[in-house]
């Protein structure tokens, strides 16, 4: 039996995307967005949604570029702070002691201490309502060497990403490996 909860934004998991931008004065800013996700394989794109009231919104419209830095689980407090404070009022890098790095591909900064970074240029902007939806083309993915496995591929366990649960407003870690994709479901294929 299912209970109706009404029109709400409840889905699990949502990511913890730390969006890096420069303001008009060239100062680096970061804000945390849980509304977003990959939206195209070719060209590789990621979507992020931000409210117009945010400092990041103006930066995105001006610079047409952003980065996404993924925090590891030991940086969840910093990522949470990036979603509380506004870059209009404070320098969030200074407040947390983290280091902005200028992307050499797009006009935006990323967080040096975070293990996985996407560098993106804005392709599409859609006003949906409270949030404005930005689609960015991913020009490069950069991963800390400690986040790579022995074959040089990114390792979820080494990167130790975090996720956000709307409704509960809580952060969770990544759980255990359950199954290989495009393989585990083949048991339902009819043979012969």
Q: Which of residues 124-183 bind a copy of itself (CB under 8 A)?
A: 124, 126, 128-131, 133, 135, 137-145, 148, 152-156, 159, 161-183
Q: Is 167 exposed, middle or buried (0-12, 13-18, 19+ CB in 10 A)?
A: exposed
How many residues form the binding site for a copy of itself (CB under 8 A)? 105
Q: Is 113 in the site for a copy of itself (CB under 8 A)?
A: no
| Least gap, CB of 93 to a copy of itself (angstroms) | 11
Tokens 């409704």: give the residue: 167
Select from 28, 149, 167, 50 the least CA-distant residue to 96: 28
Whether the CB-CB separation of 118 and 111 falls below 8 Å is answered with no
Q: Is 117 in the site for a copy of itself (CB under 8 A)?
A: yes
| Least gap, CB of 120 to a copy of itself (angstroms) | 10
Residue list 23-82, contact with a copy of itself (CB under 8 A): 34-47, 49, 68, 70, 73, 76-82
Determine the Cα–Cα distance for residues 161 and 179; give it in Å rounded to an integer.
18
Whether the CB-CB separation of 125 and 66 falls below 8 Å is answered with no
Q: Is 191 in the site for a copy of itself (CB under 8 A)?
A: no
How many residues comprise the chain? 192
| Least gap, CB of 115 to a copy of itself (angstroms) | 8
Determine the Cα–Cα distance for residues 92 and 149; give it in Å rounded to an integer.
31
Q: Which is nearer to a copy of itself, 13 or 23 (CB)?
A: 13
Q: Which is nearer to a copy of itself, 24 or 75 (CB)?
A: 75
């Amino acid at each position: 039996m299912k209970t109706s909860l009404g029109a709400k934004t409840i889905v699990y998991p949502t990511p913890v995307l730390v969006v890096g931008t420069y303001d008009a004065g060239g100062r680096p800013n970061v804000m945390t967005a849980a509304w977003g996700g990959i939206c195209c394989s070719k060209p590789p794109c990621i979507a992020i949604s931000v409210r117009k009231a945010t400092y990041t919104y103006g930066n995105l419209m001006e610079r047409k570029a952003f980065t996404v830095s993924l925090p590891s689980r030991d940086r969840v407090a910093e990522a949470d702070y990036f979603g509380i404070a506004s870059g209009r009022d404070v320098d969030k890098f200074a407040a947390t002691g983290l280091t902005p790095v200028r992307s050499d591909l797009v006009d935006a900064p990323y967080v040096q201490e975070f293990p996985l970074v996407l560098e993106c240029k804005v392709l599409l902007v859609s006003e949906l309502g409270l949030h404005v939806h930005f689609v960015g083309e991913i020009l490069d993915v950069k991963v800390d060497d400690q986040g790579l496995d022995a074959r040089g591929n990114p390792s979820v366990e080494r990167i130790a990403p975090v996720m956000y649960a709307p409704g509960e407003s809580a952060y969770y870690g990544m759980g255990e490996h359950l199954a290989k994709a495009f393989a585990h479901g083949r048991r339902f294929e009819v043979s012969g």
